[in-house]
């Protein structure tokens, strides 16, 4: 099948509920919800081979990896301020580790094999216990051979609940992903294909939205949609139809002023929270649609059927979520200005000193010395200069940072930022979380081929 047929096939049949996430153990396993003070038992996360129905029903299943029998793994929910406890059990044949993407938490629990811990060997386990200081939408994923293990399905949603959650009728988790599949349903081999890596990375030929609960909604329902791009390399443009509302958070962090809901663009690992009212009219056969606008039309990634009317809910403006603690730049004089040059890839000269396809500042992969050693509390403005002809989604572990507008005005507070080809972008960060932190491109094929470094906060 050609890619286009695959994508169209996705659109035609996604409404089938069997394609939604299987009900996860989160609801049935008493240890599953790590929320509340009595949450003593850790959530078990067994990384293991699974078969998943990625292609529409009637097509072959796909041998993959999952947590507790499914990909995505269980929905982990923890109350803001509580401890997240999870026990990773490795039941497949490679070393692995779990990273809690976006949590500004403890370095020793960051789950980066080779930097914050050793990879957990097959048959072994690892106990994670970390604080969840920020309410919002996060995710967890494998962080050893991530370009392969994430592509094979090792990820799941991580929700940190507000003390008083916003008033909505449904909270829906929507993970968008793409897979490169063969006609047999198997994942195409060559996870570290050099041609992919030198370009945009491993792009799938089949894409869809994985929705944790796609039972029908009512016209008039207020939804919270938690959109998460879990693809290894694809930047997803997303458009929502059948709802009207606001963007309330980016990368987990609430916006002081909710923004109008327009078309969205999510780099790998980025999240967008939307609160919106269902406007789709069931009388007219309309549904809520999650689509990816492409050059030749909108590909339907997923739908929520609409049945009936919610007559209880009275129209009210969509309010901002309570803000998480965000560092406020108080002393600009003390800001350190440093540079991060994004180099390499096909069709651009690249730095002569790169030993792999990609690199930062002339260096491919991890060096002995950190990219920078920050004194705890140091503010730094990092000018990211993309010298390549590809986009990069740059992710900093353990911190969120401000994107800076051209004028220097503070933009969104994120953990992953999309730097367009041949563009520059400045971020401003307070390095206040001690430890050794990874800084890398979340196009995991780029990370695999040199686009990563680390920094230290002491
Ligand atoms: Cu989402 Cu280095 O990770
Ligand atoms: Cu990249």
For residue 260, what are the β-bridge partners?
246
The answer to whether the CB of 249 is under 6 A from ligand 1 is: no
Same domain, 374 and 270: no
Ligand 1: residue whose CA is nearest its atom 3: 101
Same domain, 350 and 279: no
**For residue 321, is it within any domain?**
no
Same domain, 267 and 394: no
Extract the runs of DSSP E, i.e. beta strands, from 143-197. 155-161, 170-179
Q: Which ligand is nearest to the CA of 110?
A: 1
- Give the predicted TM-score (pTM) of the model: 0.92
* Span from the CA of 268 to the centroid of ligand 2 (angstroms): 10
Q: Which ligand is nearest to the CA of 141?
A: 1
**For residue 269, is it within any domain?**
yes
* Span from the CA of 287 to the centroid of ligand 1 (angstroms): 34
Same domain, 351 and 214: no
d(C-alpha 328, C-alpha 150), whole Å: 34
d(C-alpha 409, C-alpha 405), whole Å: 5
Domain count for the chain: 2
The answer to whether the CB of 99 is under 6 A from ligand 1 is: yes
Cβ distance 184 to 55 under 8 Å?
A: no
The answer to whether the CB of 446 is under 6 A from ligand 1 is: no
Same domain, 337 and 280: no
Same domain, 67 and 164: yes
**For residue 448, is it within any domain?**
yes
- What is the longest distance spanned by two Cα atoms in the chain? 65
Q: Which domain holds residue 199?
A: 26-309
Same domain, 36 and 100: yes
CATH of the domain at 209: 2.60.40.420
**For residue 10, is it within any domain?**
no
Same domain, 299 and 349: no
**For residue 21, is it within any domain?**
no
Residue 273: both structure tokens together: 């929270």
**For residue 253, is it within any domain?**
yes
The answer to whether the CB of 222 is under 6 A from ligand 1 is: no
Token pair 């491919």 in the structure block, residue: 364
Q: In sequence order, which residues have a C-beta less than 8 Å from that of residue 329 and are 6 or more positions away?
A: 335, 379, 402, 410, 428, 430
d(C-alpha 8, C-alpha 13), whole Å: 9
The answer to whether the CB of 438 is under 6 A from ligand 1 is: yes
CA-nearest of 455, 454, 448, 4 to 204 is 4
* Span from the CA of 112 to the centroid of ligand 1 (angstroms): 8
Helix (H) or strand (E) holding 11: helix 3-13
Same domain, 151 and 224: yes
**For residue 56, is it within any domain?**
yes
Residue 215: both structure tokens together: 């039972």
The answer to whether the CB of 440 is under 6 A from ligand 1 is: yes
The answer to whether the CB of 400 is under 6 A from ligand 1 is: no
Cβ distance 85 to 34 under 8 Å?
A: yes
Q: Which ligand is nearest to the CA of 359?
A: 2
Same domain, 152 and 90: yes
Same domain, 192 and 153: yes
- For 223, 289, 346, the CA distances from 318, given in Å and listed in that order, are 11, 20, 45
Ligand 1: residue whose CA is nearest its atom 1: 101
Cβ distance 75 to 43 under 8 Å?
A: no
Tens digit of each residue's pLDDT, the chain (458 residues)? 333 334 433 333 322 223 333 333 333 333 344 444 445 689 999 999 999 999 999 999 999 999 999 999 999 999 999 999 999 999 999 999 999 999 999 999 999 999 999 999 999 999 999 999 999 999 999 999 999 999 999 999 999 999 999 999 999 999 999 999 999 999 999 999 999 999 999 999 999 999 999 899 999 999 999 999 999 999 999 999 999 999 999 999 999 999 999 999 999 999 999 999 999 999 999 999 999 998 889 999 999 999 999 999 988 999 999 999 999 987 667 899 999 999 999 998 777 899 999 999 999 999 999 999 999 999 999 999 999 999 999 999 999 999 999 999 999 999 999 999 999 999 999 999 999 999 999 999 999 999 999 999 99
* Span from the CA of 234 to the centroid of ligand 1 (angstroms): 15
- What is the three-class DSSP state of 23? coil
Q: Which ligand is nearest to the CA of 443?
A: 2
Cis status of the peptide bond prior to 72, with omega within 30 of 0 = yes
The answer to whether the CB of 452 is under 6 A from ligand 1 is: no
Same domain, 39 and 110: yes
**For residue 18, is it within any domain?**
no
């Amino acid at each position: 099948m050609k890619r286009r047929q695959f994508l169209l096939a996705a659109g035609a049949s996604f409404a089938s509920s069997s394609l939604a996430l299987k009900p996860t153990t989160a609801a049935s396993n008493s240890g599953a919800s790590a929320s509340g003070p009595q949450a003593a038992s850790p959530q078990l996360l067994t990384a293991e081979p699974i078969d998943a129905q990625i292609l529409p029903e009637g097509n072959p299943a796909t041998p993959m990896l999952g947590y507790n029998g499914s990909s995505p793994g269980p929905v982990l929910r923890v109350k803001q301020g509580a401890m997240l406890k999870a026990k990773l059990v490795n039941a497949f044949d490679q070393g692995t580790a779990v990273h809690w993407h976006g949590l500004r938490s403890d370095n020793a629990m960051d789950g980066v094999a080779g930097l914050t811990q050793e990879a957990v060997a097959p048959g072994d386990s690892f106990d994670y216990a970390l604080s969840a200081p920020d309410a919002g939408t996060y995710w967890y994923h494998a962080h050893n051979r991530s370009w392969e293990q994430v592509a094979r399905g090792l990820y799941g949603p991580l929700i940190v609940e507000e003390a008083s959650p916003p008033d909505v009728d449904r909270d829906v988790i929507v993970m968008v992903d793409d897979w490169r599949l063969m006609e047999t349903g198997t994942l195409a081999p060559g996870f570290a294909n050099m041609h992919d890596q030198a370009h945009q990375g491993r792009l799938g030929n089949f894409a869809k939205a994985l929705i944790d609960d796609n039972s029908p909604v009512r016209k008039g329902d207020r939804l919270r949609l938690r959109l998460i791009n879990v693809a290894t390399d694809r930047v997803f443009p997303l458009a929502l139809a059948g709802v009207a509302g606001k963007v309330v958070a980016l990368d987990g962090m609430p916006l002081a002023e909710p923004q109008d809901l327009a078309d969205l663009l999510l780099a790998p690992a980025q999240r967008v929270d939307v609160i919106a009212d269902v406007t789709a009219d069931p009388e007219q056969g309309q549904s809520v649609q999650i689509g990816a606008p492409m050059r030749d039309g909108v590909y339907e990634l997923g739908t929520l059927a609409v049945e009936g009317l919610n007559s209880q809910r009275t129209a009210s403006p969509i309010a901002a979520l309570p803000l998480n603690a965000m560092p406020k730049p108080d002393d600009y004089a003390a800001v350190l200005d440093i540079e991060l040059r994004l180099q390499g890839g096909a069709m651009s000269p690249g730095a002569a000193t790169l030993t792999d396809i990609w690199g930062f500042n002339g260096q491919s992969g991890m060096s002995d010395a950190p990219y920078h050693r920050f004194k705890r509390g140091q503010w730094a403005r990092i000018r990211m200069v993309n010298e390549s002809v590809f986009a990069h989604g740059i992710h900093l572990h353990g911190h969120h940072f401000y994107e800076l507008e051209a004028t220097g005005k503070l933009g969104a507070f994120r953990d992953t930022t999309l730097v367009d080809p041949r563009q520059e972008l400045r971020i401003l960060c307070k390095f206040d979380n001690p430890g050794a932190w990874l800084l890398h491109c979340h196009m995991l094929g780029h990370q695999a081929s040199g686009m990563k470094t680390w920094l230290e906060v002491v």
